[in-house]
Structure 1
Amino acid sequence: MKKFLYILLGLVLVVIIGIAALLALVDPNQFKPLIAEQVKKNTGRELVINGDIGWRFFPSIGFTLGETEFRNPQGFAEPNLVRFSNAELSVSVMPLFSQQLDIGNVSLNDARVFIQTRKDGVSNLDGIGAQASAATSADENTAEQQPQSNTPESAPSEPETTPSQESPAAGWTISLAGVELVNASAVIRDDKTGAMTDVEQLNFSLTRFAPGEWTTAAFDVRGKNGELNFSAKGDTELMIAPTLDGAELKALTLDAQAADKVNKIESVTLTMDQFRVGDWSALTFSAKGEIPDLAFDAKGETRLKLSTDFNLASVEGLSLNSDVKGNALPRPEMKIGLTADATYDVAKGLATLSAFTTQVDEIALDGNASFKAAEIPVIRFDVHSDNIDLDAFLGLDKAAKAEVKKEGDSTGTAGTGTDGSGASSANTAQVDKNKEPDLSALKVLDVAGKVAIDKFKAGNAKVSSVMTELVVNKGVLNLKRFDAKLYDGTINVKATIDANGKLPRYSVTKHIKGVQVKPLLTDVAQFENLAGTGNIDINLSGTGLAEARMRENIAGTVKINFADGAIYGVNVAEMIREARATLKGKKAEYVKEERKTDFSSLTSTMKLGKGVLSTNDLHLASPLLRIDGEGSTNLVSEAVDFTIMTSVVESSQGQGGKDIDELKDLTVPIDVNGSWSEPKFALNLKELLKRNSNKELERKAEREVERGLKKLLGDKADDDQVKDAANKLLKGLFN
């Protein structure tokens, strides 16, 4: 037992003697100038060690370092890029006696990092290492320019150095195994944008700091950006290049979360197999979370390459798939897919998306696009789709069927609110009709592009071969072109919307040629009362895009020219026969016929203004009839007030086989009243009698008057004065 105690006591004495020797022979403060010199050489920045460097003997032999500051250049809000209160360094003992400082691990406690980008775009990270590189290049150039000589006389004499002048750390070399940050914090401030990120806690470890060799790096961070709280952790294998600009990564993994009052990003993950400038890297990524009225779960993969001049980032084989759901979507749940190749030019701030395909449920698009970062972002695109059915995509077709069924099931309470008074529904509709769409996005975008769609359906209108070209710039949307095939005809549209005023202003010109009117109106407006081949020219403008304002403020003209058609719901020939029978004092013979009026041409110029649509040149021509009309309809109340003058102009067999030759030259006025949904047609007898001088009726009336006078007056009925009085009476009745 005593021997063991003696051995133990001997070991303790050896340790004490060794520590005493270290304290006596090696003063760690002598390394301050060397450390500062090496930092200056490699970064071009000042390193100020305010505290003392002392020995640490537990749990391992090493140094402790007091307050230290890594300085910023002049002109930044804080003097230091990095500052820490204390640091610990473990060292190897034996190399110290050979003037070699092998630092095992550097631990920095309570460090603070301050990164700032000024309004002029200069960052305190700019230029780190640049001065060292410049100094190295300058030394090499100087060495090349120095004359070479082998003669002792030409060799420069070395200055003599006395012991008092010799640097205390001369001849020492330093190596660093690793770096560790414990409970660090950071502020990242951008004065150009006003953004600030506050990193509340950062832990970082680097197992070995040796340029040209692989090391393992890991970190975890927690902080705040505005109201957004975030946290992240990751690790990778890292090779630090000697020039600090050729670093390599491999086996990178990253996990992050973020949340604020309205957003919650549950997870963001990223993995990368390797990264080396000029080579392709394989990435996988995913994101899951919720933002207002939208939940998403996305996954993807791609290949990435950064050019050797750090100016061009290329993405190849991008594949992204996402499940989204929420009230912000046109459907409760949707699936979105994207494949593409992309590039980003750093100098130009230009991102391009080439050969992309995207699938949003059943809608598929392909094409290319670009985005240029600027004060007003510049977006360009060229997109194609085989088939887009917006009604099915937005669920409008199902909603329309449900509405029709609801109207059919209503039992007299339709139009009333939940309380039976109807006030609630009316008020809601009124608010909706006066609400202007939000067009603020038009003021912050510079967009130009083309869209080609083989088949397209919207508002139940079916078109094909769609070609669209539009531009958005300085708050103005310009639809430069919309061409399509439409119900056996063509349509061409140009339009503008200017959102710069208090209310948006709009203008539209539309030319429709050779369109089959009945199927178009049936699909779009459920209006089946007009058929024919139509040409329509529209030129309209107005202020305000809310429905109520459009009805009140729209102005312009609509010219129609229909051929070989029919007006359903009214049989004008039948009404003429009824008018003829009325004038004869008889009842018209009833013949069952379809309620329609055929025509060879229908033309009209309609004027819109002050909430009213009016026309005074409605003209319909057919081999049988001539119809001229005038009148107006109120766009707000939807009331109709038209008068249509109908005449038989040819001797012909009328509709339904009824001979109406004897009706030639008879003009029959028809009043059209009611509303858009329930128009009413009626014969205007007063106007009929006023406009038609019927000789047969007058002669019949004259004979009846003469017969009555003879019965009453006898021979005096033949007196000229009596006849004149009778004629004046008859003319007053028919005029």
Structure 2
Amino acid sequence: MKSLSKLLALLFVGLLLIVIGLGFALTHLFDPNDYKDDIAALARDKAGIALDLQGDLGWSLFPWLGLEIHQASIASLQAPETPLADVQRLGFSVRVLPLLRKEVQMSAIRVDGLTLNLERDAKGQANWESLGKPAKASAEPKGTAQQTADTSASNSTSGDSGAPPVSLNIDSLSINDARLNYRDAKTGEQFSVENLQLTTGAVAEGQRIPLELHGFFSMAKPLLRARADLKGGLRFDLGLKRFALEDLHLQGEASGEPLNGKTLTFTAQGQLLLDQSAQIAQWTGLQINANQLKALGEINVKQLDKSPKLSGTLSLANFDARAFLEGLGQTLPPMQDGNTLRSVELFAQLDGSDKALQLNDLKLKLDDSQFTGQVSIADFAKQALRFDLNGDKLNLDRYLPPKSEAQTAQAAQRKAQVKEALGAPGHGTTPAPEKPTDEAWSDEPLLPLDTLRKLDIAGQLKLKQLTVDGIPLDNLSAKLKARGGMLTLEHFQADTFGGQVIASASLDAKTDNPLLDVSKEVKGIAIEQVLKARKQEQVLKGSLFFDTQLTARGNSLKRWMNSLNGVAQFSLREGVLVGANLEQQLCQGIALLNRKALSAPIEGRDTVFQQLGGSLRIKNGIARNDDLRASLPGLSVKGEGDIDLRVLGIDYLVNILIEGDRREMPDEACQVNERFAGIEWPLRCRGPIELGARACRIDQEGLGKITAKLAGQKLTEKLEEKLGDKVSPELKDALKGLFGR
């Protein structure tokens, strides 16, 4: 038995030596370079590719089946002269005996100087799509060819169904100095990956495979160049179609035209998983740094084979958005406050698909403002934005553009005109100021029409406080939408200065001459607080009620005012004329007429009235009022005139019916003489609207008519001297001081 075993061992060794000898003889006596044409023909007929072997072929047979290729390229049979890929050197070897057990044990695979040229023509046809297809259509009948293909596929499937899976083991893989070029003739898109270096450790299914990847990315339009270095561990299971990239660490930097000479430095970390059997992909432990921006989160995608569904979380740590954008070479538009966007923070739950993305449970901090709610891009292709937000406060003025030099100069000029019109303090002896003639509004374009036409927005906003143009709006709620150049403010409501504002509006921006339509209702707003907030002189106090419907055309404040049309109703309740004690001046005038002295001066510097109201008809920026009514102590007022909104000027004729002292204990000197009962005394109010009552003076023409009437009633010559063409200075001063100083 021992001798038999020894004999068998010697026989095995002898056979092994014979195989080794044959392998040595084959590899040394057989030159594969003599069969390049045959190999190329085999590749063409069996694989459907054009293989060009320009360099030498080297090979080994046993115990490693090895192959080394130099200067080779492949192309499609339709364009054999245009290589899809070429390689300077490719070397690998496989152990022979494990192949019998369906185990692929390979030594190091090395690829040097690989170049891939991927292209799409003007029709959208890709050059790699024709790889593996015959140069010409086969003459075989379609039915036969299809039957053969189906039979082949069936046999292949049935033959593989019971076969054990192939086990793959590779000592290492290295790709050096590889390059990828991509060009799309239809879109003009062009980019490349250069100096690509890939190295791995031992490659085995189910085992962690260390890998490193380095390369440079460049794009032609716009010009962009980036460097990236990737490290991590790859783990895969071919049977489960499961691939994981563990401990990913990506870092690099980018520069180019989009960054306007700036450099973006970035890093990314996390755990990546692709499970094709379950059709899911995950990125857990996500960390991304991009200059000052730091993001954390998690991304999960399922239904990869259908319509992908995305979920996860995203958190942006507090960062300086202004510095971040400037670091990307982006120039922010000028704002009234250059310190805005210095503190931005965000957290949100992600929910989306390949067509939309929604940020739920949103928490956004913007400088000193905080918002919660939901924001979504309903359609990536249409850039459709949807939102439902609640906030604590927002000072919008900080983010609005600063006033231009022209606007500043215009405001200064306006202020000087008002100051000049006021004149030195007095008792109404100065002439009535002239009505302004200079335009009060800027003609600079106000709306970015091209941008507005592209908007697809729908949403609602609630704020505890919004500040616009110095006006604080509390408990604000608004609902708006924009689509196809049509912008609609469906609802707007806010509390301000003790009252409420309710409005709706629409803007048709489909043409270069947009149409603005506004409906607005104001309830009980303290007018003096509005004037104070707008830094205007407080010439009036009271609760303002206002209801209006207006239309205007154009794209500037000037054009809007010049084309303003509509109607309005207004009333001012519990009003006060600041700095004009009409009751005192009235009683002084009546006392002079009665040739008596007031028993006691009337206290106060202001005039309180119970109500003021009327209606307006607005045409091309001029508001006409024919029914002004006011009730003041000792007076009732009627008026009519125009408010020229284009220049912010007034031209009013006001008639005053003197009622005298109506207090419970009237001053005898301030009682109206029967001769003056029922006479309406005329005032002309003209000048800048900011002057209020101080723009009013006695109307000389109207006063002349009253004098004629009194003369017709045969008043005494002394009274005619006082009220006729020879009005005494004392009476003139008293009457002129009714609404002026």
Asked if these proteins are the same fold (TM beyond 0.5), I'd say yes
For residue 242 of structure 2, the aligned residue among 242, 246, 256 is 246
- State the alpha-carbon separation in 1 of the partners of residues 252 and 397 from structure 2: 39
For residue 344 of structure 1, the aligned residue among 341, 346, 352 is 352
Residue 320 of structure 2 corresponds to residue 323 of structure 1:
yes
Residue 307 of structure 2 corresponds to residue 305 of structure 1:
no
Structure 2 CA distance for partners of 1:698 and 1:377, relative to 1, 3 Å: same
Deviation at 1:180, TM superposition (A): 3.0
Query: Which blocks of at least 5 consecutive residues in structure 1 are unaligned?
Result: 1-14, 147-171, 289-296, 415-428, 706-735
Deviation at 1:119, TM superposition (A): 8.2
Please give the secondary structure, in 2, of the residue aligned with 1:520.
helix
User: How is 1:88-487 mapped onto 2 (pairs within 5 angstroms)?
Assistant: 88-91=90-93, 102-115=105-118, 138-139=154-155, 142=158, 176-189=170-183, 194-208=188-202, 210-225=204-219, 226=221, 227-242=223-238, 246-261=242-257, 262-277=260-275, 278=280, 281-288=284-291, 297-307=292-302, 309=304, 311-324=308-321, 325=323, 328=332, 330-332=337-339, 334-346=342-354, 349-391=355-397, 433-487=443-497
Assess if the C-alpha contact under 8 Å between 2:91 and 2:110 holds in 1.
Answer: yes
Assess if the C-alpha contact under 8 Å between 2:43 and 2:51 holds in 1.
Answer: no
- State the alpha-carbon separation in 1 of the partners of residues 295 and 655 from structure 2: 70
Assess if the C-alpha contact under 8 Å between 2:590 and 2:672 holds in 1.
Answer: no
Please give the secondary structure, in 1, of the residue aligned with 2:370.
strand
Please give the secondary structure, in 1, of the residue aligned with 2:304.
coil
Please give the secondary structure, in 2, of the residue aligned with 1:247.
strand
Deviation at 1:432, TM superposition (A): 5.9
- State the alpha-carbon separation in 2 of the partners of residues 71 and 77 from structure 1: 5
- The residue aligned with 1:674 is 687
Please give the secondary structure, in 2, of the residue aligned with 1:383.
strand
- The residue aligned with 1:86 is 88
Assess if the C-alpha contact under 8 Å between 2:552 and 2:561 holds in 1.
Answer: no
- State the alpha-carbon separation in 2 of the partners of residues 61 and 92 from structure 1: 5
Q: Deviations over 1:137-182 (max 9, x none)?
A: 8447646999xxxxxxxxxxxxxxxxxxxxxxxxx99965444332
Aligned partner letter, 2:678:
D
Aligned partner letter, 2:111:
L
Please give the secondary structure, in 2, of the residue aligned with 1:334.
coil
Query: Which blocks of at least 5 consecutive residues in structure 2 are unaligned?
Result: 1-19, 133-149, 421-438, 721-741
- State the alpha-carbon separation in 2 of the partners of residues 39 and 203 from structure 1: 30
- The residue aligned with 2:14 is none
- State the alpha-carbon separation in 2 of the partners of residues 452 and 213 from structure 1: 55
For residue 660 of structure 1, the aligned residue among 644, 663, 671 is 671
- State the alpha-carbon separation in 2 of the partners of residues 317 and 690 from structure 1: 80
Aligned partner letter, 1:109:
D
Q: Deviations over 1:694-727 (max 9, x none)?
A: 659954436999xxxxxxxxxxxxxxxxxxxxxx
Assess if the C-alpha contact under 8 Å between 1:49 and 1:66 holds in 2.
Answer: no
Please give the secondary structure, in 2, of the residue aligned with 1:569.
coil
Aligned partner letter, 2:370:
A
**Worse overlay, 179-188 or 112-121:** 112-121
Q: Deviations over 1:252-280 (max 9, x none)?
A: 11112222241523301101134344456
| Larger relative contact order (CA 8 Å, sep ≥ 6) | 2
Please give the secondary structure, in 1, of the residue aligned with 2:473.
strand
**Worse overlay, 695-704 or 629-638:** 695-704
Structure 2 CA distance for partners of 1:517 and 1:703, relative to 1, 3 Å: closer
Deviation at 1:511, TM superposition (A): 0.8
Deviation at 1:685, TM superposition (A): 3.9
For residue 533 of structure 1, the aligned residue among 539, 543, 560 is 543
Structure 2 CA distance for partners of 1:535 and 1:117, relative to 1, 3 Å: farther
Q: Deviations over 1:299-336 (max 9, x none)?
A: 12112222253612322253443223367264336011
- The residue aligned with 2:435 is none
Structure 2 CA distance for partners of 1:384 and 1:611, relative to 1, 3 Å: same
How does the TM-score come out when normalised to structure 1?
A: 0.72
Structure 2 CA distance for partners of 1:27 and 1:700, relative to 1, 3 Å: closer
Assess if the C-alpha contact under 8 Å between 2:584 and 2:602 holds in 1.
Answer: no
Please give the secondary structure, in 1, of the residue aligned with 2:548.
strand
- State the alpha-carbon separation in 2 of the partners of residues 78 and 343 from structure 1: 48
- State the alpha-carbon separation in 2 of the partners of residues 620 and 524 from structure 1: 26
Assess if the C-alpha contact under 8 Å between 1:87 and 1:106 holds in 2.
Answer: no
- State the alpha-carbon separation in 1 of the partners of residues 290 and 672 from structure 2: 81
- State the alpha-carbon separation in 2 of the partners of residues 316 and 40 from structure 1: 52
How does the TM-score come out when normalised to structure 2?
A: 0.71
Assess if the C-alpha contact under 8 Å between 1:653 and 1:659 holds in 2.
Answer: no
- State the alpha-carbon separation in 2 of the partners of residues 543 and 77 from structure 1: 64
- State the alpha-carbon separation in 1 of the partners of residues 678 and 130 from structure 2: 98
- State the alpha-carbon separation in 2 of the partners of residues 664 and 465 from structure 1: 51
Residue 489 of structure 2 corresponds to residue 502 of structure 1:
no
Assess if the C-alpha contact under 8 Å between 2:50 and 2:80 holds in 1.
Answer: no
Please give the secondary structure, in 1, of the residue aligned with 2:504.
strand
- The residue aligned with 2:705 is 690
Assess if the C-alpha contact under 8 Å between 1:182 and 1:202 holds in 2.
Answer: yes
- State the alpha-carbon separation in 2 of the partners of residues 391 and 16 from structure 1: 91
Aligned partner letter, 1:523:
A
Deviation at 1:194, TM superposition (A): 4.4
Residue 63 of structure 2 corresponds to residue 65 of structure 1:
no
Q: Deviations over 1:164-218 (max 9, x none)?
A: xxxxxxxx99965444332222233456754332334433334455555432332
Aligned partner letter, 1:253:
H
Deviation at 1:250, TM superposition (A): 0.6
Please give the secondary structure, in 1, of the residue aligned with 2:343.
strand
Deviation at 1:512, TM superposition (A): 1.3
- State the alpha-carbon separation in 2 of the partners of residues 574 and 611 from structure 1: 37
- The residue aligned with 2:731 is none
Deviation at 1:480, TM superposition (A): 0.8
Assess if the C-alpha contact under 8 Å between 2:461 and 2:478 holds in 1.
Answer: yes
- State the alpha-carbon separation in 2 of the partners of residues 26 and 67 from structure 1: 17
- The residue aligned with 1:23 is 28
Aligned partner letter, 2:573:
A
Identity %: 17
Q: Deviations over 1:331-357 (max 9, x none)?
A: 3360111111112312xx111111010
Deviation at 1:535, TM superposition (A): 1.6
- State the alpha-carbon separation in 1 of the partners of residues 442 and 81 from structure 2: 54
Q: Deviations over 1:621-649 (max 9, x none)?
A: 35642211122233343333222111135
Structure 2 CA distance for partners of 1:56 and 1:703, relative to 1, 3 Å: closer
For residue 625 of structure 2, the aligned residue among 599, 607, 615 is 615
Assess if the C-alpha contact under 8 Å between 1:29 and 1:54 holds in 2.
Answer: no
Assess if the C-alpha contact under 8 Å between 1:371 and 1:380 holds in 2.
Answer: yes
- The residue aligned with 2:135 is none
- State the alpha-carbon separation in 2 of the partners of residues 101 and 23 from structure 1: 25
Assess if the C-alpha contact under 8 Å between 1:55 and 1:61 holds in 2.
Answer: no
Q: Deviations over 1:434-456 (max 9, x none)?
A: 33332322222211001011222
